[in-house]
Amino acid sequence: EAQVTQNPRYLITVTGKKLTVTCSQNMNHEYMSWYRQDPGLGLRQIYYSMNVEVTDKGDVPEGYKVSRKEKRNFPLILESPSPNQTSLYFCASRSHGTTLGNTIYFGEGSWLTVV
């Protein structure tokens, strides 16, 4: 079954304590990305990766890092979380192709609260 798996699904953490949200896909997709969802703002892209070892900033990258050492994994790292990073996070993946209409698969979301 095609899946994008995120962990943890729910997390409450404290300001400044480094955390990593993992994302793994089983579809051999080249492209992966992270979004955050905030009320009234919809979803905004944080980082994306076109392939292994190729990552780039999205619209709201401040305070986040990513890595893409393996094709299937794309972890989101918060080195020093702050309360304004409290949000719902989604990982997404899709295959390359000549069209951006390729199906985009989303993970189930990770609810992160920073106190």
Partner 1 sequence: AQKVTQAQTEISVVEKEDVTLDCVYETRDTTYYLFWYKQPPSGELVFLIRRNSFDEQNEISGRYSWNFQKSTSSFNFTITASQVVDSAVYFCALSEAQRGRSSNTGKLIFGQGTTLQVKP
| Tokens read off for 103 | 């199906």
Which phi and psi angles does 109 have, rounded to 5°? 95, 145
Among 48, 64, 81, 87, which residue sits at the site for partner 1 (rule: CB under 8 A)?
48
What is the distance between the alpha carbons of residues 87 and 38, in angstroms, rounded to a whole number?
A: 6
Coil, strand or helix at 83: helix
User: Cβ of residue 82: shortest distance to partner 1, in angstroms?
Assistant: 22
Rounded CA-CA distance 75/78 in Å is 10
| Contact positions with partner 1 (CB under 8 A) in 86-105 | 88, 90, 92, 94, 96, 98-101, 103-104
Q: Is 15 in the site for partner 1 (CB under 8 A)?
A: no
Residue 95, number of CB atoms within 10 A of its CB: 13
Pick from 42, 62, 69, 115 the residue near partner 1 by CB under 8 A: 42
CB of 35 to partner 1, least distance (A): 8
| CA separation for the pair 8, 78 (Å, rounded) | 13
Task: Return residues touching partner 1 (CB under 8 A).
Answer: 31, 33, 35, 40-45, 48, 50, 56, 58-59, 88, 90, 92, 94, 96, 98-101, 103-104, 106, 108-109, 111
